[in-house]
Amino acid sequence: MTDSMEKLAAGDRIELTFPARGDLIVLARLVTSAISARAGFDIEELEDLRLAVGELCLLTLQGHDSRYGDLRLELSVLDDAIGVQCTLEHAAPGGETQPDEDESAFLSQQILDALVDEHGRESQDGSVRTWLRKRRGVHDA
Amino acid sequence: MDQEFQIEEKTAGTLPVVAVSGEIDVATAPQLRECLHRVIADGGSTIVLDILGVTFLDSTALGVLVGALKRCRELGGDLHIVAADPRIVKIFEITGLTNVFTITDSLQAAGAS
């Protein structure tokens, strides 16, 4: 992180909303990298978070027809951690199943288990919410 | 996006080599799946996958590799991965896939020279 980079502090919160398309998940990863660096995470943690947030988005989209939905990403800077919440809104269950999808979902869970301190997923009334939390300065993967 | 996604098919000795660079994710993994399936359909039961130029891969990419590995093994072959970037190798490690794939850090070590 360069000296000229504006730092983020506990309590700061950033939101990003984009059409719920897989090819746009790269936007979530890019924003996560930028925010993590400004929140004081080191390069290894930043890479872990970039991967983890991509997986979080994939798990949010899983099993839903997201053609008309939006994916909302909220990153919250905490005292010693970062919290990320991903919400899929206005999407219907179903959609096209990709080959290897079950395998990929299992691998997503494994990646999140290894890289973040806690994560979860809940679905209710056509909306899906996933979240993760990762502490700063903890290298256990 | 660090680098544009690219796939190149070549042959090293008797082995087909698929060399990939850039990011393999949910947007680009279908192209890799299609390429690997085509190489297998053309008779390549053992394939060397060179991902030395890959800067990022996610669970979708790993799912494609596992699917291709199953197809290769059904035909009595294998899928050898060539990867050297510690960030990429780490993803195989945390998912336990270092026990599933043969991973080497050079094409020579994978028998594709």
A8 in a domain, yes or no? no
Query: Which domains occur in chain B, in start order?
Result: 6-104 (3.30.750.24)
Chains A, B: CB pairs < 8 Å: 67
| pLDDT value, residue A137 | 86
| pLDDT value, residue A108 | 96
Sequential pLDDT tens for chain B (113 residues): 456 899 999 998 889 999 999 999 999 999 999 999 999 999 889 999 999 999 999 999 999 999 999 999 999 999 999 999 999 999 999 999 999 999 999 998 888 76
Write out pLDDT tens, residues A20-79.
Answer: 988 999 999 999 999 999 999 999 999 999 999 999 999 998 887 666 789 999 999 999
Q: Residue A92's domain spans which residues?
A: 13-134
Confidence band, pLDDT 50/70/90 cuts, at residue A93: low
| pLDDT value, residue B12 | 83
**Shortest CA distance from A61: residue in chain B:** B26
| pLDDT value, residue A124 | 80
Question: What CATH number has the domain bearing residue A55?
Answer: 3.30.565.10
Are B58 and A55 inside 8 Å of each other by CB? yes
**Shortest CA distance from A107: residue in chain B:** B59
| pLDDT value, residue A95 | 62
A4 in a domain, yes or no? no
Q: Is the pLDDT of residue A1 over 60?
A: no
Domain count, chain A: 1
- Rounded to an integer, the average pLDDT of A5-11 is 86
Are A23 and B26 inside 8 Å of each other by CB? yes
- Does B66 contact chain A (CB < 8 Å)? yes
Q: Is the pLDDT of residue A10 over 90?
A: no
A117 in a domain, yes or no? yes
| pLDDT value, residue B16 | 95
CB-closest option in A26, A50, A55 to B1: A26
Are B96 and A110 inside 8 Å of each other by CB? yes
ipTM for the assembly:
0.90
A1 in a domain, yes or no? no
Q: Which residues of B touch A107 (CB under 8 A)?
A: 59, 62-63, 66, 95
Q: How distant is the Cα of A77 from the closest Cα of chain B, in angstroms?
A: 24
| pLDDT value, residue B113 | 67
**Shortest CA distance from A116: residue in chain B:** B94
A3 in a domain, yes or no? no
Are B59 and A55 inside 8 Å of each other by CB? yes
The CA dihedral of A11, A85, B94, B4, to the nearest 10 degrees, is -100
